[in-house]
A and B are shown apart, each in its own frame.
Chain A
């Protein structure tokens, strides 16, 4: 087990949450995703620009070297010219700013006086404009946790990016449905020291966000993790969906950084360096049996002095230092590389290796990297490997990485710099008024935990039911229906929390069960027209047949009978079973009660049936006596 404190582990969180507004941030499209076939496909290319400080962002620059074609899937009605970058943005959606201000207040943050949108250059194609619009709403808040207070550094309002739906040779396909959905980005400071704490903070922030108008469901909240260790570097890990996987991701990343530091120390000891030459080795390998090499347009190699055996060193479960080098190469469009520590293999034989070593001038401790593909790609990719190898001499590079399903991470792009930001000139700044903030402060939504405590107390609910109501976001429905009908709290709560779940599982369309329908149903119960046992069946009928509650109860024959009708049925039952009563006396009560309920279940109150039956049997017995 790693001693996180000793190695100086520091972590920060970045949480992205989609808002549930009626319209997108800069156009009138709805904030919904679609699986329909696209009506249009638009082809675009992107080029990096300079920020207002006159610098080109390194992540943008690297992306531009790849010269990708971007295909955008668009729709006749679901998307418009704004997402396609064929029209300037409309004025900002004020509802989205209001929700952000509420969140910032709940997180005890300092809100800026005037809100400015920026363009954050992102030229991986995920934004049609080549930048994501983002603005800083608030800074320096805090969240109380069991591990102490965590500083909430920034809260930004942004537009969500387009959805990446496919990729092919030299092209990436995006769908425009998600582009422009309002998104809030919340970042904590990098002060968290234990993975469990990160998990807890992520959960708590999620709970706070849920008390405001946010989207629910898969992909509507996304977490990124910042990790560094002492002497290591800040690495941003994208796409941590599963909070439970977080401790494992942290562990693997820490191992990677520790091993990269070990590699650095060894490289320094060996006085290692990177030879800047690219060696054309096609002639050297002309006779090779390796198909990959003999088929390729271009075969080049580079020399890494003093790197031998380190490229094959394992730095994470199942990943070697060579995998890191290959990660950079792959960004330039090649499928992979060969390195000294894994050769001979893949059809490259001892003899080939010896010839390469001689041609390049590889000494005892040196390594080479071999690559075969189209010429431009090979050259770009090998230059990237040289760049990455040089970084190894300094330890851990700052990077953006992405989570793999096994809890490892792989290289995505360099960490973006502040140079990627420049001002969005199409949208005027918005002054945030003190009165508006005061208004927000006095109307803050109830946080989930507070809500739970309150309804337990107010309605005498069990901890379990209250938790379920809050988690499934049914508290407001519960309180509405309760007010409308004054139905029994536990019955109502368990119907909302559990019956709904069961109905949904059985394929019912529970959207039909709105508060009005539910109030009507529970009114029948309160007025004694139906029994508690009948509710599930009635609700199912409403979903499936579209009946009103009353009609559903009637058609299922679940309306309660009048007392006279019940008495008549029991009289009939007794006259049919005189023999049993004569033989068993009060002992007939059990079997007869069973028979009575068989006929009357859901239509009469059990207590009433029991009482009538008991009285009548007693009468009969006294008659016999």
Chain B
């Protein structure tokens, strides 16, 4: 029960709880309806009543009298039970759910959208997916993606590996969109997969008829059946409900707070377009790993103690010193332009180097590569031991440093890993085409 304070005692004294039919009597009007839960952050002076015509209204309790008409059950969203029979003619695909808008529904506790679906519920809400594959649902987490942590990346990766070892043909991961690109990068480094691992989500929650969840899930199932054995993000390619893009997990970023086509490839093109059950490779020159019979490899040792710091005019070296003092094992800087930060920071960065803490330079421009050879500040940063992230996205570099520090604690080896391409995150060549697409 989410009622508290005065409204709770008002209901309690009449023996009324959520879901009961009541009559509320005021000076010259009375209302009949069902008592619904109230948002937790709302005041304790009103009740929420659902009238017969379907409308909810709030009624003040100070001048009201309440009569219990009939005890009722708390309304629940129930989806029809699915009787899933395995079809031997169809391919087996696993959907792993972690929470987020693609798997969420209205929550009466807060009155907001909350991840509350299990992977099975997700399937019940989208039964058409079963026409395209035998779908096995599995809930690993039930969190909003802003609450994601490196330890959950490990948990998810292990689940995916289990599914692959179980013999599924492809894996779909339902994920909140806020940090989907962090997770896709993490899975790219942790997993060496012989088959497609497709992350998807929704920008409009699945409790609305216009949700993008259905098309994204449907196309993700198609992608999971494909020959592309990479960790990828599959989301709307445009604001239309027509096709989705398949975006490499290490070179993808959420670029808009609310649009359906928020996920964009940065410093590369999308691998493919998914449309009505077909995969169309967009640029034949772009290489990707093909589906193979190899085993899945799991390299899931991580060092989460990494700081991610954005450079800005007037930034103080204290910020760097603080993280060194606190025992952080690595720092990713989101520098300006070609990969710079104010000169004032250099003594602190030198100190980090002296204490064997790797400092990786990325660019807040997002597009283009870091190049610290062009200006004197850059050259001084190189001398201070700062490692260039090349054309890696800042978020990808952050995730990669967490992973690299899990693999080795030798500074030179960390530097080597950071500058070597592992999962498509670094490229030597940038095409004129790769900008604002």
Interface residues of A (CB under 8 A from B): 42-54, 60, 81, 84-88, 110, 112-116, 118-121, 123, 128-131, 134-136, 139-140, 154, 156, 417-423, 425, 428-429, 431
A114 contacts B60, C-beta separation under 8 Å: yes
A419 to B29 Cα, complex, angstroms: 25
The reply to whether A119 and B60 contact each other, CB–CB distance below 8 Å, is no
What string of 1s and 0s marks CB contacts (under 8 Å) between B19-63 and chain A?
000000000110100001001001100101011111111111000
Which residues of B are found within 8 Å of A84, using beta-carbon distances? 239
User: With the chains together, A80 CA to B180 CA distance in Å?
Assistant: 26
Query: Which of chain B's residues has its CB closest to A51's CB?
Result: B54
The distance from the CB of B71 to the nearest CB of chain A, in whole angstroms, is 16
Task: Write 25 A-B pairs (CB below 8 A) sorted by A numbering.
Answer: A45-B241, A49-B207, A49-B208, A51-B54, A52-B36, A52-B108, A84-B239, A112-B58, A114-B57, A115-B58, A116-B48, A118-B55, A130-B210, A131-B208, A134-B55, A139-B29, A156-B55, A417-B54, A418-B52, A418-B54, A421-B56, A425-B112, A425-B113, A428-B39, A431-B46
| Contact between chains at A140 and B29 (CB < 8 Å) | yes
- Using a CB–CB cutoff of 8 Å, the interface residues on chain B facing chain A are 28-29, 31, 36, 39, 42-43, 46, 48, 50-60, 75-79, 106, 108, 111-113, 204, 206-211, 214-215, 239-242, 257-260
* B240 touching A53, Cβ below 8 Å: no
CA gap between A113 and B63 in the complex, in Å: 11
Cβ–Cβ contact A128 & B210, under 8 A: yes
CB distance B209 to A60 under 8 Å? yes
Of B39, B50, B55, B58, the most chain A CB neighbours within 10 A belong to B55
In the complex, A51 Cα to B258 Cα: how many Å? 24
Whether the pair A114, B77 counts as a contact (CB closer than 8 A) is no
CA distance A130 to B206 in the complex (A): 12
Q: Which of B31, B50, B111, B210 has a CB less than 8 Å from the CB of A85?
A: B210
Q: B215 — nearest CB in chain A belongs to which residue?
A: A45
Please name all residues of chain B whose beta carbon is closer than 8 Å to the beta carbon of A46 when the two chains form the complex: 209-210
CB atoms of A113 and B54 under 8 A apart:
no
Other than the given A86-B239, A86-B258, 5 more pairs (CB < 8 A) read A50-B78, A60-B209, A84-B239, A113-B46, A114-B48
Whether the Cβ atoms of B55 and A81 lie closer than 8 Å is no
Complex A-B, nearest 5 residue pairs according to Cβ-Cβ distance, in ascending order: A114-B58, A130-B209, A421-B54, A418-B54, A113-B60
Task: Say which residue of B46, B57, B112 sits within 8 Å of A136 (CB atoms).
Answer: B57
Q: Is the CB of A53 within 8 A of B75?
A: yes
Contact, CB under 8 Å: A88 / B258? yes
Please tell me if the beta carbons of B259 and A112 are within 8 angstroms of each other in the complex.
Answer: no
Q: Is the CB of B76 within 8 A of A54?
A: yes
Residues in A with CB closer than 8 Å to B48 are 114, 116
Q: A43 contacts which chain B residues (CB < 8 A)?
A: 240-242
Looking across the interface, which residue of chain B has its beta carbon closest to that of A421?
B54
- Are B259 and A81 within 8 A (Cβ)? yes
Taking a contact as CB atoms under 8 Å apart, the answer to whether B54 and A420 are in contact is yes
Chain B residues lying within 8 Å of A115, measured Cβ to Cβ, are 57-58
Question: For B50, B78, B79, B214, which residue has the most chain A Cβ atoms within 10 angstroms?
Answer: B50
Chain A residues with CB under 8 A of B239: 42, 84, 86
Minimum distance in angstroms from B79 CB to a CB of chain A: 7
B209 in complex: contacting residue of A42, A52, A123, CB < 8 Å: A123
Best-buried of A44, A51, A52 by chain B (most CB within 10 Å): A52
Contact A418 B53 (CB under 8 A): yes
- Residues from chain A with a CB closer than 8 A to the CB of B36 are 52, 423
- Residues of B contacting A60 in the complex (Cβ-Cβ under 8 angstroms): 209
- Report B78 CB to chain A, min CB distance, Å: 5
Q: Which of A47, A135, A140 contacts B214 (CB 8 A)?
A: A47
Query: What is the CA–CA distance of A86 and B238 in the complex, to the nearest angstrom?
Result: 11
- Chain B residues lying within 8 Å of A129, measured Cβ to Cβ, are 204, 208-210
* Shortest distance from the beta carbon of A176 to any chain B beta carbon, whole Å: 12
Q: Are A81 and B258 in contact (CB under 8 A)?
A: yes
Q: State whether A116 touches B56 (Cβ < 8 A).
A: yes
A427 nearest CB neighbor, chain B only: B111
Is B209 within 8 A of A87, CB to CB?
Answer: no
Known: A131-B209, A136-B51. A425 touches B106 (CB 8 A): yes
Chain B residues whose CB sits within 8 angstroms of the CB of A428 once the complex forms: 39, 42, 111
CB-based nearest A residue for B113? A425
Q: Distance (Å) between the CB of B189 and the closest chain A CB?
A: 32
A42 and B78 alpha carbons, distance in the complex (Å): 32
B111 — which chain A residues lie within 8 A by C-beta? 423, 425, 428
Report the separation of the CA atoms of residues A429 and B214 in the bound assembly, to the nearest whole angstrom: 30
The listed residue (A45, A130, A136) touching B55 by CB distance below 8 A is A136
In the complex, are the beta carbons of A44 and B58 less than 8 A apart?
no
B29:A86 contact, CB within 8 angstroms: no
Verify B204–A112 contact, CB threshold 8 A. no
Q: Whole-angstrom distance between the alpha carbons of A198 and B272 in the complex?
A: 60
Q: Which residues of A contact B58 (CB under 8 A)?
A: 112-116, 429, 431
**A50, A118, A121, A431: the one within 8 Å of B43 (CB):** A431
Whether A52 contacts B106 by the Cβ 8 Å rule is yes
Closest-CB distance, A172 to chain B (whole angstroms): 14
> Which residue of A is nearest B19, CB measured?
A53
Bound state CA distance, A88 and B257, in angstroms? 10
Nearest-neighbor residue (CB-CB) of B48 within chain A: A116
> Given that A47-B209, A418-B52 are contacting pairs, would A114 and B46 also be in contact in the complex, using a CB cutoff of 8 Å?
yes
B240 in contact with A44 (CB, 8 Å): yes
Given A43-B242, A50-B79, A54-B78, CB of A112 within 8 Å of CB of B57:
yes
**Contact residues in A for B79 (Cβ distance below 8 Å):** 50
Contact partner of A54 (CB less than 8 A), chosen from B77, B113, B259, is B77
Q: A423 and B53 in contact (CB under 8 A), knowing A45-B241, A114-B46, A129-B208?
A: no
In the complex the two chains form, what is the Cα distance from A47 to B78 in whole Å? 17
Residues of B within 8 A of A87 (CB): 257-259
A119: contacting residue among B46, B206, B208, CB under 8 A: B208
Cα–Cα distance between A60 and B215 once the two chains are bound (Å): 19
Which residues on the B side are within 8 Å of A42 (C-beta)? 239-240
Q: Quick one: closest A residue to B110, CB to CB?
A: A425
Closest residue on chain B to residue A139 by CB atoms: B29
Chain A residue with the shortest CB-CB distance to B61: A113
B59 touches A114 (CB 8 A): yes
Q: Given A44-B210, A52-B75, A110-B28, verify A118-B240 contact (CB < 8 Å).
A: no
Q: Which residues of A contact B51 (CB under 8 A)?
A: 136
For residue B275, give the distance in angstroms from its CB to the closest CB of chain A.
12
Instruction: Please tell me if the beta carbons of A86 and B260 are within 8 angstroms of each other in the complex.
Output: yes
B241, A44: Cβ atoms closer than 8 Å: yes
Quick one: closest B residue to A52, CB to CB?
Answer: B75
Bound-state CA distance A131–B207 (Å) is 11
Q: How far is the CA of A47 from the CA of B207 in the complex (A)?
A: 10
Question: With A and B bound together, what is the CA distance between A207 and B349 in angstroms?
Answer: 75
A128 to B212 CA separation, bound complex (whole angstroms): 12
Taking the nearest CB of chain B, how far is it from the CB of A82, in angstroms?
Answer: 9
CB of A401 to closest CB in B, whole Å: 20
Asked, given contacts A46-B210, A418-B53, whether A110 binds B46 with beta carbons under 8 Å apart, the answer is no
A132 CA to B428 CA, complexed, in Å: 51
A-side contacts of B46, CB under 8 Å: 113-114, 429, 431
Residue of B nearest to A60 (CB): B209
Inter-chain CA distance A113–B60, complex, in Å, is 6
**Residue among B56, B209, B214 facing the most chain A CB atoms (10 A cut-off):** B209
A43-B242, A86-B239 known; A49+B209 contact, CB < 8 A: yes
Contact A422 B75 (CB under 8 A): no
Are B209 and A154 neighbours in the complex by a CB distance under 8 Å?
no
* Bound CA–CA A48/B59 (angstroms): 30
Q: Shortest Cβ distance from A127 into chain B, in angstroms?
A: 8
Known: A113-B60, A130-B210. A85 touches B204 (CB 8 A): yes
What is the CA–CA distance of A419 and B55 in the complex, to the nearest angstrom?
10
Residues on B with beta carbons closer than 8 Å to the beta carbon of A156: 55
Residues of B within 8 A of A423 (CB): 36, 56, 106, 111
Contact A419 B241, beta carbon cutoff 8 Å: no
Neighbouring B residues of A116 by C-beta, 8 Å: 48, 55-58
Q: How close is B34's CB to chain A, nearest CB, in angstroms?
A: 8
Query: How distant is B161 from chain A, measured CB to nearest CB, in Å?
Result: 33
Residues of B within 8 A of A131 (CB): 208-209
Q: How far is the CB of A432 from chain B (nearest CB, A)?
A: 9
